[in-house]
Amino acid sequence: MKQVRGQNGEVVTAPAARAKDARPSNVHWLTPRTWRRWIDVGLRGHGRDGVPEPGWAGRLEDRNAAFVRLLVSSGLRRSEGGSLLTFEVPGLRLDGGRYYRGKVAAGVTRSKKDRTFYAAADAIGEIEAYAESSRAWAVAKAQRKGLYERLPGARVVTEVTRRPRPVVRWRGLDGSSWECPLGELTVRERMLLFTEGPKGLEPLWMWLNEQGLPFGVHSWEGVFRAANERCERVLTTPGRVGFDPHQVFAPYATPHSARHSFALYMLVVLNDRLQAGPVADELARRSRKPRSRTQSYGEAELDRVTIAARRRFRAALQRINENAVRLQQWRNGALTEGSGEWIAGEGLDILARTGDLPRHARKDGQPGNVEARYRNALGTVAWQRLFLTREEAVALGVLLLAEFGWNLSVISGLEVPMASPDQGEDGHPTYRIPLEKRRRGPGRHHETRNVTDHGAGSPGRLITQALEATRFARAIAAGLAPAPPG
């Protein structure tokens, strides 16, 4: 031991030598606001203005953002969060809380002991959105190519027991049967676990690459490195590029930064000085809230509204599709010229191209009634044959709200979703939906949602039906849009 002078001038006793395995402290954390900035710019492709830059593909941005949100909200290490299996993702929210409770298996922890963790509800929501969209698309793509059946050492799990120490039972592709405690499986062994899905083998490993194969734990370092480089390129002022060692302009993050940030957040929350005394009194002081003038629906009421909206929209979609078939028959020359069906088809063609039917001119020069031949063939409200009414458009908005939780400002500003160019042999499209969400004060929050149409009842099927119901209206709007300058 030796005597040294402390920071305030006092003499203190300190070790005379440092242990060989000791290393200097390297604590690095980011504030929640900085994390959002890092995710938006580094992982979602936003520019300095907060809007996704032109040409940004972002095909795995939902996976990457969900992983980072999980680490920041739970304090999991990279190896722990990166090796989660699908059935280990928490699925039960704590009563009245904003967190989900989960457990990390001993085989992937540093202490080699099972450990409980808590993850924020919105982080779990992003994982679920990833699982239903781009992950499902990658799995379907790999299944079509037969990749999983050719993977050496693949294990098809048949059961995971409900015990204090769960046991995983599986069969090999050669027919052999094995079992092992879940906590004893290594990271490599976990990557080889699969389950029988409705269309073939599906990996139990949560995080997948674009080929549908397990994304290695160490590969996350490349994701963080690429995000840091993009933040530096976008956010650093031109005169300081390469001369910003303390990350003043552009945030810098690592997987362990998420753990440090979580620890700091918990320290602030659990600090005794914030639980009692004048600070706590001020935080606990209630301010009178203005009486809300917004009437909210109860759960049962919302269910009834959704059912009514679904019934109305379904009838409108059927009407538009039936008239679209008749229109296509007329365009293909399948109707007898001059017949009532032919005149109706001709009227639908004019309606699809112009949004209206030929009308008689009134004396004041204003358009009058629809010409009799088309009125007799299509009725007095012919435009409804190819277009939604105002009430039917509202019904579609209600369904989008109920399915995705988007509010009116998001729905009214939705861009037309773009389907993936590779829809696969089963024809199930995955839509990329850019979203713009308003925040309090200046600025907007931009994100992208990937939604796959897996068939009736899936979220993607609603997007497919919305595109079908609005295809003629969108074509008219595109024709009326002003040409871009230049």
Amino acid type, 27? V
Tokens 């160019």 found at: 421
Looking at residue 472, what DSSP letter applies? H
> Which strands, in side-by-side order, build the sheet including 177-181?
177-181, 167-172, 155-160, 193-197, 200-203
Identity of residue 26: N
How many contiguous H segments (helices) and E segments (strands) does the chain have?
16, 14
Task: Provide the 8-state DSSP code for 40.
Answer: I
Look up residue 103 and give its two tokens.
């457990």
**For the purposes of burial, counting CB atoms within 10 Å of the CB of 415, is it exposed (0-12), middle (13-18) or buried (19 or more)?**
exposed
What is the rounded CA–CA span in Å between residue 187 and residue 165?
A: 18
193-197 vs 155-160, strand pairing mode: parallel
Q: Under a CB-based contact definition with an 8 Å cutoff, are residues 373 and 339 in contact?
A: no
Query: Which tokens sit at 124?
Result: 């779990």
Angle, alpha carbons 93-95-98 (nearest 5°): 55
Contact 276, 432 (CB under 8 A): no
Cα angle 357, 465, 402 (rounded to 5 degrees) comes to 120
Provide the pLDDT for residue 81: 95
Model confidence, pTM: 0.59
Closest CA to 182 of 201, 158, 160: 160
Residue corresponding to tokens 């909210």: 296
Radius of gyration of the chain (CA): 29
Question: Mapped to the 3 state alphabet, what secondary structure does 41-98 carry?
Answer: HHHCCECCCCCECCCCCCCCHHHHHHHHHHHHHHCCCHHHHHCCEHHHCCCCECCCCC
Q: What are phi and psi of 452, to 5 degrees?
A: -105, 135
Residue 200 CA: distances (Å) to CA of 139, 179, 194: 10, 22, 10
List the chain residues with pLDDT less than 50: 283, 287, 289-290, 292, 441
Listed by start position, the domains of the chain span 32-221, 308-337+349-357+382-480
Please give the structure tokens belonging to residue 102.
Answer: 């989960």
Distance from CA of residue 351 to its chain's centroid? 37
Phi, psi dihedrals of residue 236, rounded to the nearest 5°: -75, 135
> How many beta carbons lie within 10 A of that of residue 17, not counting itself?
8
Residue type (1 letter), 289: K
Which residues face 3 on adjacent strands? 13
Residues forming a β-bridge with 359:
370
Contact (CB, 8 A) for 357 and 369: no
Q: What is the separation, in whole angstroms, between the first and last Cα of the chain?
A: 78
Per DSSP, what are the bridge partners of residue 434?
448
Give the model's pLDDT for residue 11.
Answer: 72
